[in-house]
Structure 1
Amino acid sequence: MNGSMYSTSNVVDIKLKRGPAGLGFNIVGGLDQQYVLNDSGIYVSKIKEDGAAALDGRLREGDKIVAINGIKLEGLTHNAAVELFRTAGEDVELHVQQKSSSHMNGPSGGSSQPKSDSHVSLGVLVAAVGAAAAVAFLYMRIQPYFRKHF
């Protein structure tokens, strides 16, 4: 679990009643299809307009679903998790770890998604390479001025 975006203080239980279009959201992730680096959890990828989840209003895109009807999703493949959602019945209780609002990107209700640490690492790497190139360029430009001739 990525502790920087999710904390145990943001865990909520959400009860949804399955509607004509299901529970009204899509999921991503799983043991075989990691959505967040080093985390095989199941995440909400999309809230469908006018679906059960949208009408309830508490589930958000990017939230991690920890359990459904008391069954933990940890260590399941994506297809196994999908099957649990399909067979969960009409009244469904979700145990959800919500993404803290301080880490949300863009306007609320948008399609913010958890970002992996690799995005940050890539930015730092690019900045470091740029700085090294600038120092090397300056060194090569001023080196002739400091050479001593004997």
Structure 2
Amino acid sequence: MNGSAHPSPGTVDIKLKRGSAGLGFNIVGGVDQQYVVNDNGIYVSKLKEDGAAALDGRLQEGDKILAINGVALENLTHRATVDLFRTAGEHVELRVLKKFPNHVNGPTGSRPEPNPPVSSLEVLVALGAVVAVCAVLFMRLRKKHF
């Protein structure tokens, strides 16, 4: 693709044959719709079950698509990239930068902090505390009436 014999580290070339449902994945990103902070790239957002990409197995959600049939996707809008995919033909070659294992997509701070799960021990301690408070209140009320 584009004259380079070997992809750079972390990139792979993937050839897909368009099926009845297209290539079988959705994309996000572009210069007009940044998906990753300070990155205008195009990313795979979803693989369609039984689509050409899912059946091939190499393309994954979160991968960055660098080129389609040798055409670099740098500085393209989302719409222009979609148009490239639509006119790419039956056999499509993608140059893909594989996602990093700890890569987080989306703007920084856009995801809520996960709440840690509550353990059974914590629930039992809380219930024990409630029972103890109720017992103390009950005993105080009982002493006042006798």
> Do they fold alike, i.e. is TM over 0.5?
yes
Aligned to 2:73: 73
Aligned positions of 1:1-150 closer than 5 A: 8-101=8-101, 103=102, 114-116=105-107, 118-119=108-109
User: If you compute each CA radius of gyration, which structure gives the higher value, 1 or 2?
Assistant: 2
Distance in 2 (CA, whole Å) between partners of 1:74 and 1:27 is: 14
How far apart are residue 11 of structure 1 and its match? Answer: 0.4
**DSSP 3-state at the match of 1:99:** coil
How far apart are residue 114 of structure 1 and its match? Answer: 1.8
**What code does the residue aligned with 1:80 have?**
A
What TM-score do you get using the length of structure 1 for normalisation? 0.65
Describe the superposition over 1:16-73 as per-residue Cα deviations: whole angstroms up to 9, x where unpaired: 0000000000000001000001111000000000000000000000100000000000
Deviating above 6 A after TM superposition, structure 1's stretches of 4 or more consecutive aligned residues are none
Aligned to 2:144: none
**DSSP 3-state at the match of 2:53:** helix
**What code does the residue aligned with 1:24 have?**
G
Describe the superposition over 1:120-148 as per-residue Cα deviations: whole angstroms up to 9, x where unpaired: 9x98xxxxxxxxxxxxxxxxxxxxxxxxx
How far apart are residue 119 of structure 1 and its match? Answer: 2.5
How far apart are residue 115 of structure 1 and its match? Answer: 4.5
Distance in 1 (CA, whole Å) between partners of 2:62 and 2:40 is: 14
Matched length: 105
Q: Which runs of 5+ in 1 are unaligned?
A: 1-7, 105-112, 124-150
Give the alignment's Cα RMSD to 1 decimal: 1.9
| Higher share in strand | 1
Distance in 2 (CA, whole Å) between partners of 1:42 and 1:20 is: 23
% same residue: 68
Distance in 2 (CA, whole Å) between partners of 1:24 and 1:32 is: 23
Q: Which runs of 5+ in 2 are unaligned?
A: 1-7, 114-146
